[in-house]
Structure 1
Amino acid sequence: MRAMVLRAIGAPLVAEERPEPQPGPGEIRVRVEACAVCRTDLHVVDGELPNPKLPVVPGHEIVGIVDAVGPGVALPAVGTRVGVPWLGHACGHCAYCGSGRENLCDDPLFTGYTRDGGFATHVVADAAFSFPLDGFDDPVAAAPLMCAGLIGWRSLKMAGPAARIGLYGFGAAAHIIAQVCRFEGREVYAFTRAGDTAAQAMALSLGARWAGASEEKPPEPLDAAILFAPVGALVPAALAAVAKGGRVVCGGIHMSDIPPFPYRLLWEERQVLSVANLTRADASEFLALAPRAGVRTTTHTYPLAAANEALADLRAGRFQGAAVLVP
């Protein structure tokens, strides 16, 4: 198999030839058809997430075909198309798992971070944390759903029944969740970096009622805001944009420090919440909803060997939508 491997924090990924991995008990081996590139991959490569398994193969928005199964695995069967997400395993016995909050598991494994991921031709995954993708016939289009879509969906649920919702950072997650919002009859307000007219135009083309710079005030108060951009300074900006009782949901796994802000921005029962990982229930809900909502992903493909280029383009904001590696 071929893989792009992170051997040292901050270093470019290295192309390697490896023996094909063999699935153990409860595991499957997936022949990777596509793996989207997520901002979390940048956080892993840049060392903003602590204690990765090194060396590690990044990538956690995986779509592929099961080509081998380990002992004890009946489903998914060989030949099934599956998606493999960020949460690669949960212990199943801690208090969080026992209360339906496996996203907060005390002893988890994360794909592309603490176990090898999908920047490769093959990956071994926990069968119980892999999702059949019946009806998803385009693996490139489906790949961004495995994180941008799933984390976006969990963030949207945490935003509550907001009629007017602001999306800060209009990248892979926002361009998916904006479509879900419109399907649900919500008004979308898109916030981008100043001068990013391409992202603003994309947001408007997907049905956003308004698009502008993150520093701007929306034309009317929001019921909730979701921050996909990992910029702590956007928290007080979003608090200033939401109405009384509004929620600000931080959708990323890493964010720069939140600066001090006056209590009056939080007062009147505004809330700041964070999203951690996902549950399998989130995935089941979203993968059933996405086709009904008519979600279409905008993707830019790269060969596996160009993984470093894809990461650099993501860091620099050189494209709209999602980058996808195609082995």
Structure 2
Amino acid sequence: MRAMVLTTKGAPLQPVERPDPVPGAGEIRVRVEACAVCRTDLHVVDGDLPDPHLPLVPGHEIVGIVEALGEGVTTHAIGRRVGIPWLGGTCGCCSYCESDRENLCDEPVFTGYTRDGGFATHVVARADYAFALDGFDDPVAVAPLMCAGLIGWRSLKMAGPARRIGIYGFGAAAHIIAQVCRYQGREVYAFTRDGDEAAQTMALSLGAVWAGGSLEAPPVVLDAAIIFAPVGDLVPAALKAVAKGGRVVCGGIYMSDIPRFPYRLLWEERQVLSVANLTRADAVEFLALAPVAGVKTTTTVYPLERANEALADLRAGRFQGAAVLVP
């Protein structure tokens, strides 16, 4: 197999050849067709997230074909297309797992962080954390759904029944979840980096009723806001924009420090919530909803060997939608 490997935090990924991995009990080996590049991959590579399992193959928005089955696997068949997400395994016995909150598991496994991921030609995953993608015929198009879509969906659920929703940071997750909002009859107000006319144009094309700079005041009071940009300064800005009782959902795994802000912005029962990982139930729900809602992803394709370029372009905001690596 070929892989792009992180050996030192903050260093470029290195091309490596290895023997094809052998699935253990309860695991499957997948031939990777596509792996989207997530901002979380940047946080892993740049060292924002502590203690990655080095040397590491990043990547957790994986789509591929089952090529081999480990002992005891009966839920997947060779030749089936599956998706592999960020949450790669849980203990199943802690208080969180036993209360249907496996996303908060005390001993989780994360694809592309604590175990090798999809910036490679092959990957091994737990069979019970790989999702059948029957009916999804384009692996490049579906790859961003495996994290940007799933975390976007969990963030939207946590926002509650809000009709007017502000989305801060219009990247991969936002461009997917805006389409779900449109399908559900919600109004989207898109906040982008100042001067990013391309992102604002994209947001409007996907159904947003307004698009402006990240610190602009929206034309109406919002019921809720979702922050996908990893910028702590946006939390008080979003609180200022939402109505009494409104929610501000922080949808990323990493965010810069939130600055001090006056209590009056939080008062009147406004809430600040964070999203942690996903549950398998989230994935089942969203993968059933996405085709019905007509979700279409915008992608920029890179060969596997250009993974460093894809990461650099994501860091600099040089494309709209999602980058996808294809071996």
TM-score, normalization by structure 1? 1.00
Cα RMSD for the two superposed structures: 0.3
Q: Which runs of 5+ in 2 are unaligned?
A: none
- Aligned partners of 1:126 and 1:257: how far apart in 2? 34
The answer to whether structure 1 residue 93 and structure 2 residue 115 are counterparts is: no
The 5 Å alignment of 1:167-316 reads 167-316=167-316
AA of the residue aligned to 1:243? A
Q: For residues 138-169 of structure 1, give each alpha carbon's deviation from its aligned partner in whole angstroms, at most 9, with x where no partner exists.
A: 00000000000000000000000000000000
Q: Aligned residue for 1:116? A: 116
- Aligned partners of 2:112 and 2:236: how far apart in 1? 32
| Aligned-partner SS, 1:264 | helix
- Aligned partners of 1:126 and 1:279: how far apart in 2? 14
- Aligned partners of 1:323 and 1:277: how far apart in 2? 20
Q: For residues 182-239 of structure 1, give each alpha carbon's deviation from its aligned partner in whole angstroms, at most 9, with x where no partner exists.
A: 0000000000000000000000000100000011000000000000000000000000
| Aligned-partner SS, 2:243 | strand
The 5 Å alignment of 1:34-183 reads 34-183=34-183
Q: Aligned residue for 1:317? A: 317
| Aligned-partner SS, 2:91 | coil
CA apart distance, 1:75: 1.6
- Aligned partners of 2:299 and 2:18: how far apart in 1? 28
AA of the residue aligned to 1:200? Q
Percent of residue pairs identical: 81
Q: For residues 25-59 of structure 1, give each alpha carbon's deviation from its aligned partner in whole angstroms, at most 9, with x where no partner exists.
A: 00000000000000000000011101110000000
- Aligned partners of 2:166 and 2:69: how far apart in 1? 43
- Aligned partners of 1:53 and 1:292: how far apart in 2? 38
- Aligned partners of 1:110 and 1:76: how far apart in 2? 21
- Aligned partners of 1:73 and 1:288: how far apart in 2? 24
- Aligned partners of 2:148 and 2:297: how far apart in 1? 10
Q: For residues 259-307 of structure 1, give each alpha carbon's deviation from its aligned partner in whole angstroms, at most 9, with x where no partner exists.
A: 0000000000000000000000000000000000000000000000000
| Aligned-partner SS, 1:107 | coil
AA of the residue aligned to 2:291? P
- Aligned partners of 2:112 and 2:272: how far apart in 1? 28
- Aligned partners of 1:214 and 1:8: how far apart in 2? 33
- Aligned partners of 1:323 and 1:84: how far apart in 2? 17
| Aligned-partner SS, 2:42 | helix
| Aligned-partner SS, 1:292 | helix
- Aligned partners of 1:246 and 1:281: how far apart in 2? 26
Q: Which runs of 5+ in 1 are unaligned?
A: none
TM-score, normalization by structure 2? 1.00
Q: Aligned residue for 1:8? A: 8
- Aligned partners of 1:166 and 1:110: how far apart in 2? 29
- Aligned partners of 1:174 and 1:318: how far apart in 2? 16
| Aligned-partner SS, 1:307 | helix
AA of the residue aligned to 1:19? P
Q: For residues 63-96 of structure 1, give each alpha carbon's deviation from its aligned partner in whole angstroms, at most 9, with x where no partner exists.
A: 0000001000012111110000000001101000
Please list every run of at least 4 consecutive aligned residues from structure 1 whose deviation after the TM superposition is greater than 6 angstroms: none
- Aligned partners of 1:113 and 1:67: how far apart in 2? 23
| Aligned-partner SS, 2:3 | strand
**How many residues are treated as equivalent by the alignment?**
327
Q: Aligned residue for 1:33? A: 33
